[in-house]
Amino acid sequence: MAYPITRMRRLRRNEILREMIRETHLSVKDLIFPLFVCPGKGIKKEISSMPGNYRMSVDVLVETCKEIRDLGIPGIILFGIPEKKDELGTGAYGDDGIIQTALRKIKKEVDELLVITDVCLCEYTSHGHCGVIEKGVVHNDETLKLLSRQALSHAKAGADIIAPSDMMDGRVGCIRAILDANAFSDLPILSYAAKYSSAFYGPFRDAADSAPQFGNRKSYQMDYANSDEALREVKLDISEGADIIMVKPALAYLDIIYRVKTKFKVPVAAYNVSGEYACIMAAAEKGWISGDDVMLEVLYSMKRAGADIIITYFAEKAARLLQKK
Ligand code: PBG
């Protein structure tokens, strides 16, 4: 039935009608807040390229976690900045590492907050790559051994979900095996399955001081020209035991979120990464866009594409805004 019988504008006449027929919803319960933890005490240092986000010492982090929980945000994802970096990223898997220490403290003092840990070596290696370097390249299978140790140490310290972000082949299977062998068979894995080699990670690398010191990550992270390959990555990770699949970044990759959700019908997380956050914040600061409105529009687009979970530096801002509505 065409115009004039059909008039699409009838149901757009007011907000009650619009709300009644809205197809997608954004809730604070969809959001996960990324947080950076560093050594020291009483430290809360704003990350210049990510205004409103901080490097925090464990004591400050614990208080922040309580505020986040009280806002209704269901969880955080933790990234660590170690005291020292070295060739093998030893700060990543020791029981006294920064993440392990933070985890134990959060688990003791903050209840009802899901803590996801990022498993990767780049924040801990002196060369800034996500694995062990042999003859100038990241060695896949040697890296798997260290990632497995890191995952197990997070599990022992109380992580609620393990999230490998390194993009080595076979890591999900290795991590599943070591968790299962150590009585952690109930611990879920959120796999960064389709993780692209992206310039949108710039501000994160400032925050974690983790930019590669030579070369780039193109030999392990995906080429942004590809999408069938993302489906192969996802299929492999599901077969190795991934419980939730991540697509990262999110905004320039909504087609990937859509294809993954449509094809596999598994829980999908979108990572709205640091550069996506920085672009919006910078334009808003200049007064060129309305930051809050663009933020909501972007978060809705991820839900519309098929994301169940959104990991975003906007989590706190969005939670406050959604509370007011
Ligand atoms: C670790 C990791 C990175 C991000 C999440 N986990 C950096 C990278 O791969 O270079 C980026 C997140 C962001 O940009 O917000 N490998």
pLDDT tens sequence across 207-248:
998 999 999 999 999 999 999 999 999 999 999 999 999 999
Tens-digit pLDDT profile for the chain (325 aa)?
999 999 999 999 999 999 999 999 999 999 999 999 999 999 999 999 999 999 999 999 999 999 999 999 999 999 999 999 999 999 999 999 999 999 999 999 999 999 999 999 999 999 999 999 999 999 999 999 999 999 999 999 999 999 999 999 999 999 999 999 999 999 999 999 999 999 999 999 999 989 999 999 999 999 999 999 999 999 999 999 999 999 999 999 999 999 999 999 999 999 999 999 999 999 999 999 999 999 999 999 999 999 999 999 999 999 999 988 7
Residues 89/139, Cβ–Cβ less than 8 Å:
no
Give the pLDDT confidence score for residue 209 in this predicted structure: 87
User: Is any ligand 1 atom within 6 A of the Cβ of residue 245?
Assistant: no
> Using CA atoms, how far apart are residues 267 and 309, in angstroms rounded to an integer?
8
**What's the gap in Å between 246 CA and the centre of ligand 1?**
12
Residues 85/91, Cβ–Cβ less than 8 Å:
yes
User: Is any ligand 1 atom within 6 A of the Cβ of residue 273?
Assistant: yes
* DSSP state at residue 105: H
**What's the gap in Å between 7 CA and the centre of ligand 1?**
46
Q: Which structural domains are found in the chain, ordered by start?
A: 24-324 (3.20.20.70)
Q: Are strands 31-37 and 44-46 parallel, antiparallel or unpaired?
A: unpaired
User: Is any ligand 1 atom within 6 A of the Cβ of residue 196?
Assistant: no
Closest by CA to 260, choosing from 247, 241, 243, 242, is 247
> Using CA atoms, how far apart are residues 160 and 20, in angstroms rounded to an integer?
36
> Using CA atoms, how far apart are residues 135 and 113, in angstroms rounded to an integer?
42
What's the one-letter identity of residue 159?
A
Q: Report CA-CA distances (Å) from 321 to 24, 30, 292.
A: 17, 14, 8
Measured from the CA of 212, which atom of ligand 1 is nearest? 10
| 3-class state of residue 195 by DSSP | strand
> Using CA atoms, how far apart are residues 27 and 25, in angstroms rounded to an integer?
6
Tokens of 266: 């598994």
**What's the gap in Å between 21 CA and the centre of ligand 1?**
37
- Residues noted as catalytic: 195, 248
User: Is any ligand 1 atom within 6 A of the Cβ of residue 118?
Assistant: yes
> Using CA atoms, how far apart are residues 154 and 99, in angstroms rounded to an integer?
7
Residues 92/78, Cβ–Cβ less than 8 Å:
no
> Using CA atoms, how far apart are residues 273 and 314, in angstroms rounded to an integer?
10
**What is the length of the chain?**
325
